[in-house]
Amino acid sequence: MLRLTVQRGTRPTVAALTRPLVSQARWTSQHVHKSTCSTSTTHSTIPAAAATDARGQSSSNSTGPIPGSSLPVDEETQSLFERFKDYRTSLQKVWPRLTPHQRDLLSSMLRVNQAGEIGANYIYKGQHAVFTKSQPALGPVIEHMWDQEKKHLHVFDRFIGQNRVRPTLLRPLWETAGFVVGAGTALIGKEAAMACTEAVETVIGQHYDDQLRELLTLDDPEIENLRKIIQEFRDDELEHLDTAVDLDAHKAPAYEALTQVIKQGCKVAIEVAKRV
């Protein structure tokens, strides 16, 4: 069923994710360390030290860990901050070299990615709101995935601001739609929520794969760094997909119909978000 053919890095087991929160924080730290040493899957966050805008000035909202995230900031995470600083500088370098058409292409990519990550954040927010009361054991699973989505969104928010790309104009819509879908499927049950996650992450994984191919057409060595970020985020999304399948997504009521509706909705949203 899954047609994505990608090289994935180390991913957490469901058992690891269902540990108590304290253990989960420790696991996250270890996983970040492993990812730092891996070439296939890494996780990036924004450093306080790397907080400069497109003109090299300090940004006021860029200190500390990702806003709203429970991720610990340790030495390994700081090293990821430094790596991400290079990526940001890289995108700022390449922007003036692009043709108007290439800038439009890249702007559209950043905008749709921002919109998608807003939706993903609110899907997990909706699931978390429901499961906190009904199935607290799922809390760490949702929080882990949500934390990664927070990082993704923070990166694209920052890129858009730094490169003066018009952000999505439909942010309230993506937030509302994401929350309704996340909470709605969670209210049906764990399996339906996981089927939702599987459907969304399948489409997003394919979407990021499409972008990785498109970015090859820009033919600029600095673009390779943006590809690395998207590869990294794509691997995170596929990790979420695997987690959802492990947690009985396929046992959801009306699984086929539910996932098809959600996939089609995601595809429509992607086309809208590229433009608006």
Binding status of residue 157 toward Fe ion by CB under 5 A: no
Annotated ligand binding at 31? The verdict is: no
Question: 223-246 vs 75-94: helix axis angle to the nearest 10?
Answer: 130
Q: Is 128 in the site for Fe ion (CB under 5 A)?
A: no
Report how far residue 150's alpha carbon sits from residue 161's, in angstroms, rounded to the nearest whole number.
Answer: 16
Show the tokens assigned to 181. 């879908």
Tell me, what DSSP letter sits at residue 252? S
SS3 42: coil
Nearer to Fe ion, 191 or 232 (CB): 232
201 is in an annotated binding site: yes
Q: According to the binding rule CB under 5 A, does residue 237 interact with Fe ion?
A: yes
240 is in an annotated binding site: yes
How many residues bind to Fe ion according to rule CB under 5 A? 6
Give the chain's length: 276
- Residue 240 touches Fe ion, criterion: CB under 5 A: yes
User: Which residue stretch of 3-11, 64-72, 157-165, 229-237 sits at the interface with Fe ion (rule: CB under 5 A)?
Assistant: 229-237
Which 187-216 residues touch Fe ion, going by CB under 5 A?
A: none
88 vs 72: CA distance, rounded Å? 22
From the number of C-beta atoms within 10 Å of its C-beta (0-12, 13-18, 19+), residue 82 rates as: exposed
152 lines the binding site for Fe ion (CB under 5 A): yes
In the bound state, the residue with its beta carbon closest to Fe ion is: 152
Distance CA 123, CA 193 (A): 9
Distance spanning both ends of the chain, measured CA to CA? 31
Q: Is 181 in the site for Fe ion (CB under 5 A)?
A: no
| Binding window for Fe ion (CB under 5 A); candidates: 23-31, 143-151, 220-228, 242-250 | 143-151
- Rule CB under 5 A: choose which of 76, 147, 149, 157 binds Fe ion: 149
Cβ of residue 104: shortest distance to Fe ion, in angstroms? 23
Neighbouring C-beta atoms of residue 255, cutoff 10 Å = 16
Instruction: Give the binding site for Fe ion (CB under 5 A).
Output: 117, 120, 149, 152, 237, 240
Known binding residues: 117, 149, 152, 201, 237, 240
